[in-house]
Structure 1
């Protein structure tokens, strides 16, 4: 179940609330009843560089082990 970030509209305090993706965004805090709004946040994981595709992990044609894993300049 994903965790969403909500902001209290009066105080600016941020809350993390676990909620199903199928549920509508909350408009009131479940415990306090304060007005809240869901805010966008960065994901907890970011894929950068090469090595994240099936074809990246296969040996390259032409022989040698020239950087099939890791390394390389960005």
Structure 2
């Protein structure tokens, strides 16, 4: 069962109703009995754990070695003029 918010078109009361996602019941206002419309709300999402913020660090190697100017990578360039072959 899912919970949905409805608003009365007559008195403006907002209330919550629980029904199945595939059901489309005719909901009337509990205050005045007027016609209602379903209100779409943003879902509340909570991200927990690492990896969701810019301040988080990746696992494994540190970020300083990835951004350093000197590279310890080996290259296997086939051309004789390549600066990596020095």
What TM-score do you get using the length of structure 1 for normalisation? 0.54
SS of equivalent residue, structure 2 residue 17: strand
Greater Rg by CA? 2
Q: How many residues align?
A: 56
Alpha-carbon distance in 1 for matches of 2:40, 2:33? 21
Unaligned runs of 5+ in 2: 53-57, 63-86
Question: Given that residues 3 and 17 in structure 1 are in contact (C-alpha distance below 8 angstroms), is that contact kept between their aligned partners in structure 2?
Answer: yes
Alpha-carbon distance in 2 for matches of 1:8, 1:34? 6
- C-alpha root-mean-square deviation of aligned residues, in Å? 3.2
Unaligned runs of 5+ in 1: 54-58, 64-74
- The runs of 4+ residues in structure 1 deviating greater than 6 Å are none
